[in-house]
Amino acid sequence: MFVLILNASNIVNDGKNSSLVYNFPNSIVLKDKFIAVSQIIMYYSWFNITSQYINNYLTYTWTVGVTTTTYTITIPNGLYNIVDINAFCQWTMINNGTYLINASGDNIYYFELLVNQNRYAIQLNTFNVPISLPTGWSSPSNFPGFPTQSFNPIVSFPANFYKIIGYNPISSVNFSSNNNINNAYTPPSPSLSNYYVAKDAVGTLSYLSNTNPDVQPNSSIYLAISNINNPYAQPSSILYAITPNVNIGEQIIETPPNFMWNKMIDGTYNQLRVQLLGIDKQPILLNDPNMTIMLTIRDKNENVN
């Protein structure tokens, strides 16, 4: 039995930090050998929202007079929960001036995303924008103006962003909330509504996602090795799954309680290739290259007690 150790020095320089190559000192014959992960130490450094995944933007509308403008909220690459996404939406609304300030000095935003824990869903609330300032309220210096008819912003979840919050398209049509002009919109009954929309007397519209949110698409990543052929895995090179139980930026330490042996393909080798794959089975982008991967190789008849 012998151990191979791969670390940052083995990383292939492709900008992703997820492909590693271990070069044997000489070409070796591997016959009737089995391999297993003995330990993985790395940092939780892969993002859930990126331009690569095309899941990094959503849109909302604002009407001035009778002219409606659509604003795009582009979220920087990062690891976000729903609270973070909502905060970035509010930051964008501040930059666009599409909010008001109430009599207490608090910013009033006209849509929000929040977690509905009881329903295991993401809730979207949109609020009715008035046609003039309420008494005691003020507007920011970059406020674009009021509409001639009250409205709720139309919030749309295009591309792959809808997967993060669980608003899957219906009949290939992506989700968009209702404009509720002059607070005249009547929601369909729950049996007819795919997004479970409700409305209160002041024009607040509340929607619930229609599928389970997938906030971190890569909640687990896979470790694949070029020198094995696992007929029960797709791709057949997958050896192990890594599931972080720490916060972003913290160290993951994976030590399997038992070795899960996979037979290596018989042949002569001068290197071993290791890849860390995302849910799409493609090399994932790791922002921190610091890692240690320990692999153990044994003979077919070797005692492993």
Alpha-carbon distance of 95 to 202, in angstroms, equals 26
Alpha-carbon distance of 296 to 260, in angstroms, equals 10
**The pLDDT of residue 305:** 54
**The pLDDT of residue 191:** 62
| % pLDDT > 70, the chain | 98
Mean pLDDT rounded to a whole number for the chain: 94
**The pLDDT of residue 107:** 98
pTM above 0.75, yes or no: yes
- Level-2 CATH architecture, domain 2-46+218-299: Sandwich (2.60)
pLDDT, greater one: 237 or 303: 237
Length of the chain: 305
Least confidently predicted of 116-130, 162-176, 221-235, 286-300: 221-235
**The pLDDT of residue 192:** 65
Render pLDDT for 62-111 as a digit per residue (tens, 0 to 9).
Answer: 999 999 999 999 999 999 999 999 999 999 999 999 999 999 999 999 99
Is 90 exceeded by the pLDDT of residue 159? no
**The pLDDT of residue 52:** 86
Is 90 exceeded by the pLDDT of residue 301? no
- Number of Cβ within a 10 Å radius of residue 272: 22
What's the maximum distance between 2 C-alpha atoms anywhere in the chain? 84
Residue 101 burial (CB < 10 Å; 0-12/13-18/19+)? middle
SS (H, E, C) 97-161: CCCEECCCCCEECCEEEEEEHHHCEEEEEECCECCCCCCCCECCCCCCCCECCCECCCCECCCCH
Residue 162 contacts residue 211 (beta carbons within 8 Å) = no
Hey, what are 110's tokens? Answer: 């006209």
Phi/psi at 117 (5° precision):
-65, -35
Sorted by where each begins, the domain ranges of the chain are: 2-46+218-299, 57-208
